[in-house]
Amino acid sequence: MIGDATIDSILKAMQDTLNAHQLKQLKHVLTANLAIDAQDGENESATLLDSFLTAKELEGCSERTLKYYESTLTHYIKRTDRPLPQIDTEQLRSYLTEYQETHNVGKVTVDNIRRILATFFAWLEDEDYIVKSPARKIRRVKAPIRVKETISDEDMERLRDGCETTRDLAIIDLLSSTGMRVGELVKLNRDSIDLNERECIVQGKGNKERRAYFDARAKLHLEEYLQDRGDDNPALFVSLRGNHDRIAICSVESRLRALGRKLRLPRIHPHKFRRTMATNAINRGMPVEQVQKLLGHVKIDTTMQYALVSQSNVKASHRKYLG
């Protein structure tokens, strides 16, 4: 078995002939084609994964995204017995097929895994750890487009009426009127909010700031909530008990789920408020470019997904022109 010591000897013998970049490429070729100790390969993969996660953190990826990257790629690395430079397209396809069968997951989940693997191997290629990404030839896994649910006006009123605290009422109004992400909501500080102008500064993905706007009802409930506060925490939303620490994403999610169960409403979660706001805006005629700006989407294709959510505008047009 040929190990790292042999490869290092070859590189040392060629250092007067090749430049630094060529030596690096030679090392990758030797590593990919010679038998290396499995433990060394596993350690190298773990090191490359750490470097990848560090790079993505510097690019501004959220903590949630980084954890998703780490868990997905760690699972993949543990399930393959090849060093990363030896991975080919067929091996990746086999892994995705096996994962779908053994975990009984849908096409959307499989495509998310494919996308993460493609991002990882593209980074390895860009950083010259591999010559070419084996994920390039793997196409997007097509999943059926399903009509996603939104919250009706009636159910939104039921949610408001079901709130037992001014904090929860303010959270629902802010989510429904701004369409912000729950991760953006929990980062808000008191000084992020301009009640007079009914707007706030939101820190979105990649630490990009944008303005979000809320309605008069949200303003009134925010004022009531802030007047009820007896702490000096700069966070806009804090826990109701204990030291009144900044509220966490999981706390908002569990609070909304519990409220939905109490009212017997299906699948109430933070993103549903975002989807509802975007759908209503598009169905009422707001230009999609402006909706994109409000939601903080980089690509308009992401915003256009919301145009497929509801058929109410299609039905109204049919009655107007054909009914």
- Of residues 27, 114, 219, 274, which has the active-site annotation? 274
Residue 147 domain-assigned? no
The question of whether 181 is a catalytic residue gets the answer yes
On whether both 42 and 110 belong to a single domain, the answer is: yes
Locate the DSSP E strands across the chain: 193-194, 199-203, 209-213
Residue 21 domain-assigned? no
- Return the H-helix or E-strand segment holding 69: helix 63-79
On whether both 178 and 249 belong to a single domain, the answer is: yes
**CA 258, CA 16: separation in Å to the nearest integer?**
68
On whether both 279 and 157 belong to a single domain, the answer is: yes
Give the model's pLDDT for residue 27. 75
On whether both 157 and 306 belong to a single domain, the answer is: yes
- Of residues 181, 219, 255, 272, which has the active-site annotation? 181
Reported as a pLDDT band with limits 50, 70 and 90, residue 311 is low
One-letter amino acid identity for 88?
D
Q: Which domain holds residue 64?
A: 37-126
On whether both 173 and 226 belong to a single domain, the answer is: yes
pTM for this prediction: 0.69
- What is the rounded average pLDDT of the residues 196-207? 89
38-42, 175-179, 288-292: least confidently modelled range: 38-42
On whether both 103 and 200 belong to a single domain, the answer is: no
On whether both 176 and 302 belong to a single domain, the answer is: yes
Distances from the Cα of 111 to the Cαs of 3, 5, 120, 127, in angstroms?
36, 39, 14, 24
The question of whether 229 is a catalytic residue gets the answer no
On whether both 176 and 223 belong to a single domain, the answer is: yes
Identify the CATH number of the domain in which residue 248 sits. 1.10.443.10
Cβ-in-10-Å burial (0-12, 13-18, 19+) of 150 comes to buried
Residue 279 domain-assigned? yes
- Of residues 205, 211, 246, 257, which has the active-site annotation? 205
Please tell me the total count of domains within the chain: 2
pLDDT in tens, 43-68: 778 889 999 999 998 888 888 889 99
Residue 201 domain-assigned? yes
SS (H, E, C) 5-37: HHHHHHHHHHCCCCCHHHHHHHHHHHHHHCCCC
Is 270:183 a contact under the CB 8 Å cutoff? no
- Of residues 67, 136, 208, 271, which has the active-site annotation? 271
The question of whether 274 is a catalytic residue gets the answer yes
Residue 30 domain-assigned? no
Residue 268 domain-assigned? yes
The question of whether 205 is a catalytic residue gets the answer yes
On whether both 96 and 186 belong to a single domain, the answer is: no
Residue 140 domain-assigned? no
Phi, psi at 110, each rounded to 5°: -60, -40
On whether both 118 and 158 belong to a single domain, the answer is: no
Identify the CATH number of the domain in which residue 95 sits. 1.10.150
